[in-house]
Amino acid sequence: MDDKPSSGTVSESSELLFSFGVIADIQYANLEDGYNYQGNRRRYYRHSLVHLQAAIEHWNKESSRPCCVLQLGDIIDGYNAQYKASEKSLELVMNVFQMLQVPVHHTWGNHEFYNFSREYLTNSKLNTKFLEDQIVHHPETVPTGSYYAYHFSPFPKFRFILLDAYDLSVLGVDQSSPKYQQCLKMLKEHNPNMELNSPQGLSEPQFVQFNGGFSQEQLNWLNAVLTFSDRNQEKVVIVSHLPIYPDASDTVCLAWNYRDALAVIWSHECVFWSQKSEITVTGLRSSRLCVSCLSHNCDHIEGPPSNPGSSHLQSLNSITSGKFILLDKMYVNFLALSTEKNQWPV
């Protein structure tokens, strides 16, 4: 849009509707600093709590407090399972979240499933479906499958949808179950490598074990919710742990069947913004955060894949948190929390 205000500012003629916070990939573990799977990016396991606390303090102090916070998955690191510390680490992080004075909506990523089964997560505090919106006389908008997805309305004429990007996955599923066998078959049909986490030589690099996809049942539900929003002239925000827009992420990070999800989204007018747990904005790139704009009529936020002047944002274990300010002109303003210093970049 040509008449956007500059980054970090709000147009005097714009009316502030509401704001919401986002934080992703906390990946806490009570461990010394380490490196990612490829060994090329540093991870600050213990220090991640410092950034979470700083983000919560910021949100709580806001004069116009956000209506909610979206926690987009990988709340603790997979290493916790190796050290039998999964429940203890999750409890510690959730205790920090209790300081937040607004509701938090949790999505699930691969690190949740490295630590817990789907059954465990369904019965845990990471299941926030009790916050979902119940639309009277529209049962088709109520999720009925085993997938973890729901929608809610934070403000009149706006609807947020949380998708389950590991609805199809070999992670967190009983290996004797038919669904595990179905997903393993799908994965191996696209990935013949002995190491299923390796995308080497693949024409579709997203088919790796640490990713997942959306069942047809979930996509049918998504279509039903978007149809309701179209008819009621709502604006929709969609979030999940995995990106589904190829220009907004490395291909290896995409959901298995991202094209199927895009086909549903592009058949509707109501989606104006959709994002993964990775956000690129105002030239600041966090390697674990990136906005994907999925509708032809939505605002697309983008930035360079790396910024030498903001190299402190490049840690794979970086936490980016912020406040998206939704204005009457649909401008999305984002403040990113540095991964090494407790400051908000200008």
SS (H, E, C) 48-97: HHHHHHHHHHHHHHCCCCCCCEEECCCCECCHHHHCCCHHHHHHHHHHHH
If DSSP codes are grouped into helix, strand and coil, which group holds residue 120? helix
Q: Please tell me the pTM assigned to this model.
A: 0.80
Q: Output the six-digit token pair for 135.
A: 């639309």
Per-residue pLDDT, 334? 37
Contact 111, 76 (CB under 8 A): yes
The mean pLDDT of 272-281, rounded to a whole number, is 44
Indicate if the pLDDT at residue 140 is higher than 80. yes
DSSP string, 181-218: HHHHHHHHHH---SSTT--TT-SSTT-STT--B--HHH
Per-residue pLDDT, 42? 80
* Residues 278-291: tens digit of each pLDDT: 332 222 222 223 33
- Per DSSP bridges, beta strands 271-281 and 235-239 are parallel
Q: H-helix or E-strand containing 277?
A: strand 271-281
For the chain, give the percent of residues with pLDDT over 90.
49
The mean pLDDT of 305-330, rounded to a whole number, is 32
What is the average pLDDT score of the chain? 76
The mean pLDDT of 38-55, rounded to a whole number, is 83
Query: What is the distance between the alpha carbons of residues 129 and 163, in angstroms, rounded to a whole number?
Result: 11
Query: What is the distance between the alpha carbons of residues 150 and 142, in angstroms, rounded to a whole number?
Result: 8
Query: What is the distance between the alpha carbons of residues 234 and 221, in angstroms, rounded to a whole number?
Result: 17
Per-residue pLDDT, 130? 95
251 or 128, which is more confident: 128
Place 294 in a pLDDT band, splitting at 50, 70 and 90.
very low
Which residue from 91, 79, 92, 74 is spatially nearest to 23, judged by alpha carbons? Answer: 74
Contact 30, 89 (CB under 8 A): yes
- Cβ-based neighbour number of residue 71 at 10 Å: 27
The mean pLDDT of 297-319, rounded to a whole number, is 25
Query: What is the distance between the alpha carbons of residues 225 and 44, in angstroms, rounded to a whole number?
Result: 39
Indicate if the pLDDT at residue 149 is higher than 90. yes
Per-residue pLDDT, 81? 96
Query: What is the distance between the alpha carbons of residues 214 and 146, in angstroms, rounded to a whole number?
Result: 11
Per-residue pLDDT, 145? 82
Least confident of 40-54, 229-243, 247-261, 300-314: 300-314
Q: Is 230 exposed, middle or buried (0-12, 13-18, 19+ CB in 10 A)?
A: middle
Per-residue pLDDT, 273? 61
The mean pLDDT of 289-296, rounded to a whole number, is 30
* Residues 83-135: tens digit of each pLDDT: 999 999 999 999 999 999 999 999 999 999 999 999 999 999 999 999 999 88
